[in-house]
Amino acid sequence: MPGTLLCLLLGAALQDRDAVDAAIQKFNRDYGRVGVREEDRIQAVNALAAHRCEKVARTLAPYLVCSPVAVRIVTARRLGGFSGVPGVDSDLVNALLHPRNTGQRGVQVTILQALGSLRAEGAAEAVSRLVESPDVWVAKAAIEAAGKIRSGAAVDALVRTLVRLDGPAGDRDASLDLFGGELPTTSILQIALRDAAAKDNARRKVARDVLREPLRTALKSITRLDFSGVREWKEWWQKHKRTFSVPP
Amino acid sequence: MVPRANGGTAPAAGDCPGPEVLAGWLEGTLSPGERRALAAHLASCDDCRRAVAVAATLEAPPASAAVDERLLARVVAASRRRFPWPWVGAAAAVLAVSVLVFVKPAPSPSRKIAEPPQGPLRVAAIEERDRVFEETPRKVEAPAPPVAVEEARSRTAPAPAPMKEEAPRVEVAEPEPPPMEEPPPPPAPESPAVARAEGPGKTVTDLSRVFSPVFAVDPRGDLWLRRGRGEAGRAGAFETLAPTDSFCALEAGAAFTLEGRATVVLERGAEAVFCFFKPERAYTVELVQGQVMIDTEGIPQNWRASRGGAALAFSSLNGRIALELRGDQLSALLLEGRADFQNGSKAERLEAGREVVAADGGRLTVRRAETRKKAQRFAELRPKAMTVFSATFDGDEASGPFPYAVVAGEPVREGAERYLRGVATEERGRTRVSVEVRAERPVLFTSGLVLRFRYRTTAPTLTLRAGPFSAPFAAVAGGRWAEGEIGLSALENEGVPPVPLEEIAGVRIEASFDGKIAGRLDVDGIYLIRRAR
C-alpha cells in the first residue's frame, strides 16, 4: 500500500512537471515569436504564472529586467503571488537593485508591492533603504512593504522619515494634496518659486500627506505600538533602539 | 403640384418632395393621390428612394405625435449646408422627422430591435466625419441606433475559447485575467440560425436569436452601407448593422472601426456582412465579394469568416488578418499576430505569414504566403485613429455607440450646445469641481490610447483620471472653450503606469480651487481614441 501511494504521488508529480514544461515551452513560443505584440507578451506571462512553482519563477525572473517596462510590471505582479516558492524574493530584490530598473518608478513600486505580499524577510534590508527614497511613490511602496515584512531593520528608517517629514510646524494638516491628484493653486506655486524654504516646505507638505499614514501604519504593524505624535515615536525609538526586537 | 388632403401640396413626379412628404409616405398619412404621385417619383428618383429605404430602418412614429419644426429646419439646413449631395440632406430630414416624433412603445419579446432613443437625431457631416479624426473632435454627431445597444453593452470581450467541445483547452487559472466570460456551449456551427415551426410545412428562421447587430464608427474612404437588398448609401459616422446589412467599398478602398474593438478595411470592390454570433461570442464576417482585412487592435477576439459553404472559425485572434474570396474558396492570411482555428476536430495555431484556405465542404489547406503587399495596403487604408469611447452629453448616454452613465456633472443646454457643468464639493478648505462619466463597457488599455476632451474652466490646472490612473493637466483658463489631449500612458496610479489589457472604466476631470472660490469647469465631449500602431 505505501508503495502504491508512493507511485501515485510520483505519477502526479511527473504529470505536474510535464504540465509545467509544456507551459514553459508555450510561453517561450508565444513570447519570442516574430512580430509579437506587447499584449501577447503580457498574456503569455499571465498564462505561465498560473503555474506557481520554482521552475516557472526561474523562467520569469529575467523578464523583471530584460523586457519592456509593462512586461516587467506584470511579471513582478505575478511573482508577488508566488508565496512559499524558494528564490522568488531574491529574484525580486536583484531586479529592484538592477541598474536597468533604477529610475523605473513603476517597476520599483510593483516589485516592492510584490515583496510586501510575499512577506519576504530576505528583502528587509533592500526595502528599508528605499523607505527614504526621494521618489515619494517608491518611498510609500517601501514603507508599506516594510510594514508587511515586519523586520526590525526598517524601524530606524521609518522613524527617521517620520521625523524628517514633520517639519517645524509639527503635526498640522497640510493644505496641499499633490499626489492625490491636485496641483497647487497659482498662489502657492508663486510662493514656492519665490521662496526656496517655502518650496521645500511645500514639497515636504506634499510628501507628508502621502507618507504620514503609511509610516504610522507600518510602525504600528512592526512594533505593535501606536503613538499619536512624531515626538513620541522619536523619544521611544531613542530609548529602545539598542534593545528592540519585533514582537510576535 | 398635386393638392394634399390637408390643404397642402405634394410634389408631382419629377420634383423631389420635401421631408414631410417622405415622412408621410413612411407613416402612411398621404392620400391615395399623393401616394401615387410619390410612388411615381420614387420609381425614378434614386436619391429619394434611398432616403426612404434608410429611414424605413427606424421605428415608425405614431402619426399623432408632434414634429419639432424648428429642430427639423435646423437639421435640414445644417445638412444641406454641409453635404454636397442633396439626397443626404433629404435623408437627414426624413430621419430627423422619424425620430423626433418617436414615442417609446411597449416592449415586446418578439422585437428584434430596441426602442430608438428619446431626443433629436443628428446626422454627421461627411466633412465633419473625416475631419474629426484628423483634428481634435468636436462632437461625434451621429444617428442614434435603432437596434439593440443592450446587446453591445452586455457583451464583454469574447473569451478565447475553442469552437467545439472536443478541442483541447489550456487549463490554466489566470490571476488577473482580462474581462472575458465563459461562453455557453456553441451549437453546430453549420446551422447557426434557429428555426421554429409555424404551422405545418412552415418554418421561420429567427436570426435575431443567434445574431446580434453590431455598430461601426470612424468610417474612412469610399464606404457604403447597403440595408438588406436595398440600394447602398454613403455610411454615416455611426451605423448599426443588422445581420442583413452589408458594407461595401465601391470606387476605392474603405475602412471603419467595429465597436471600438477592431479595425476593418475593405479593398475596392469588396462587400461583406458583419454581425455578432451569440452562441460562440464571435464576430462574424460573411464575404460577398472581394477582400477584407481585420485588425483586432491588441484585443484577443473570436471571429468567424464565411462565404457560402466555406467557413473559418478563429478563436483568440489577436493580430491582423486578410480575408479574400477566390472563386469558391475563402482565404484567410494572418498578416500579424496569431490565432487559433479549428481544422476538423482539432485546434491549430496560425502564425503570421500562414494562410488557411477553405473550400466548400469544409476542406482546409494551410500554407505559407506573402504578406508584405497586403500589410502595406492595410496601412494605407486604415483609420489613423480609432474611437473606443465617446461621451458627447447629447442625451446619448444609453443610446449612443458607447453607452455610459454620468457620475458627476449637470447637463446644460445653451442653444445648440450641450455640455456637462461640473459639480462642486468642499473638502478641507478647498472646492473641487468635477465631471465624471462611467462606461457601461470598460475600455481595455492598449498602447496609443489617448484621452481627448473639450473643456472650459477658470482653473489653471486640471486633474485627469482614467480608471485608477491620474495626471495633472495645464489648462487654458479664462473661461474659453479649449481642446485637451493626453496619452493615457502618461497617467499613473501611485507611480505605476497602466499596462496593456488593464481596464479603464470611467473618466473624471477635476478642477480645484482655494477656499470657497466659485470656480467653473464645463466639459463638452470626452473621447478615448486609439492611435493606429
Secondary structure in 3-state letters for B398-427 = CCCCCCEEEEECEEEEECCEEEEECEEEEE
Report d(CA B304, CA B312) in Å as an integer: 6
Report d(CA B76, CA B97) in Å as an integer: 10
User: How many angstroms separate the CA of residue B486 from the nearest CA in chain A?
Assistant: 15
Residue of B nearest to A140 (CA): B494
Report d(CA B31, CA B406) in Å as an integer: 46
Q: Rounded to a whole number, what is the largest CA-CA distance in chain B?
A: 78
CB atoms within 10 A of CB B62: 11
Chain B residues touching residue A38 (CB < 8 angstroms): 298, 447, 500
Answer for the pair B28, B63: CB distance below 8 angstroms, yes or no.
yes
Chain A residues touching residue B432 (CB < 8 angstroms): 182
Suggest the residue from B299, B499, B521 to mutate for an interface test with chain A (most A CBs closer than 10 A): B499
**pLDDT for the residue B148:** 39
Torsions phi, psi for A241 (to 5 deg): -60, -45
**pLDDT for the residue B205:** 55
Give the torsion sign (CA, B196, B199, B202, B206): negative
**Residues 6 or more apart whose Cβ sits within 8 Å of residue A52:** A81, A82, A85
Cβ within 8 Å, pair A182-B430: yes
SS3 sequence of B236-295: CCEEEECCCCEEEEEEEEEEEEECCCEEEEECCCCEEEEEEEHHHCEEEEEEEECEEEEE
**pLDDT for the residue A48:** 96
Suggest the residue from A18, A36, A182 to mutate for an interface test with chain B (most B CBs closer than 10 A): A182
The helix or strand, by DSSP H or E, that contains position B124, with its residue range, turns out to be none
Cβ within 8 Å, pair B174-A50: yes
Cβ within 8 Å, pair A46-B175: yes
Residue of A nearest to B489 (CA): A70
Helix-strand-coil percent breakdown of chain B, rounded to 5? Answer: 15, 40, 40
Nearest-by-Cβ selection for A70 from B174, B432, B499: B499
Q: Rounded to a whole number, what is the largest CA-CA distance in chain A?
A: 83
**pLDDT for the residue B116:** 32
Report d(CA A209, CA B75) in Å as an integer: 53
pLDDT tens digit at each of 533 positions of chain B: 444 444 444 444 446 787 778 767 766 778 878 877 887 777 667 667 656 655 554 444 444 444 444 444 444 444 344 334 444 444 444 444 444 433 333 333 333 333 333 333 222 332 333 333 333 333 434 433 333 334 444 444 444 443 443 333 333 444 444 444 444 344 344 444 444 444 454 454 566 778 888 888 888 999 999 998 888 899 988 888 888 899 999 999 999 999 888 999 999 999 999 999 888 889 999 999 999 999 998 888 999 999 877 889 998 898 899 999 988 889 999 998 889 888 777 788 888 899 999 887 778 889 999 999 999 999 899 888 888 999 999 887 877 788 899 999 999 998 888 999 999 988 777 889 999 999 988 898 988 899 999 999 998 889 999 999 999 999 987 888 999 999 999 999 999 999 998 999 999 999 988 776 778 999 999 999 988 76
Report d(CA B506, CA B407) in Å as an integer: 9
Under DSSP, the state recorded for B180 is: B
**Residues 6 or more apart whose Cβ sits within 8 Å of residue B344:** B362, B364
Q: What's at A3, amino acid-wise?
A: G
Report d(CA B271, CA B248) in Å as an integer: 4
Report d(CA A69, CA B439) in Å as an integer: 28
Nearest-by-Cβ selection for B298 from A37, A49, A109: A37
Report d(CA B338, CA B354) in Å as an integer: 10
Nearest-by-Cβ selection for B495 from A26, A106, A181: A106
Burial class for B184, CB neighbours closer than 10 Å (0-12, 13-18, 19+): exposed
Report d(CA B229, CA B86) in Å as an integer: 23
**pLDDT for the residue B165:** 39
Task: Report which of B513, B106, B145 is spatially closest to residue A185, judged by C-alpha positions.
Answer: B513
**pLDDT for the residue B27:** 64
Reading the block at residue B517, the C-alpha cell is 472660490
Suggest the residue from B354, B470, B494, B501 to mutate for an interface test with chain A (most A CBs closer than 10 A): B494
State the pLDDT confidence band at A203, using cuts at 50, 70 and 90.
Answer: low
Q: A167 versus B468: which is more confidently predicted?
A: B468
Q: What's at B212, amino acid-wise?
A: S
ipTM higher than the 0.90 cut: no
| Chain B interface with A: residues with Cβ < 8 Å | 170, 172-178, 298-300, 318-319, 336-338, 351-352, 428-430, 432, 446-447, 460-461, 463, 465, 470, 472, 492, 494-497, 499-501, 510, 512-514
pTM exceeds cut of 0.80: no
Report d(CA A184, CA A178) in Å as an integer: 7
Chain A residues touching residue B428 (CB < 8 angstroms): 173, 175
User: How many angstroms separate the CA of residue B289 from the nearest CA in chain A?
Assistant: 29
Torsions phi, psi for A118 (to 5 deg): -80, -10
Chain A residues touching residue B318 (CB < 8 angstroms): 37, 39-40, 43
**pLDDT for the residue B53:** 56
Torsions phi, psi for B325 (to 5 deg): -95, 130
Report d(CA B244, CA B272) in Å as an integer: 10
Cβ within 8 Å, pair A138-B495: yes
Report d(CA A120, CA A133) in Å as an integer: 20
CA distances from A69 to A75, B8, B59, B184, B390 (A): 10, 71, 51, 36, 29
Torsions phi, psi for B279 (to 5 deg): -60, -35
**Residues 6 or more apart whose Cβ sits within 8 Å of residue A206:** A136, A174, A176, A177, A178, A179
Tallying the residues shown for chain B, one arrives at 533
Nearest-by-Cβ selection for B175 from A40, A73, A78: A78
**B418-450 core/surface letters (b: 16 or more CB in 10 A; e: else):** bbbbbebeeeeebbbbbbbbebbbbbbbbbbbb
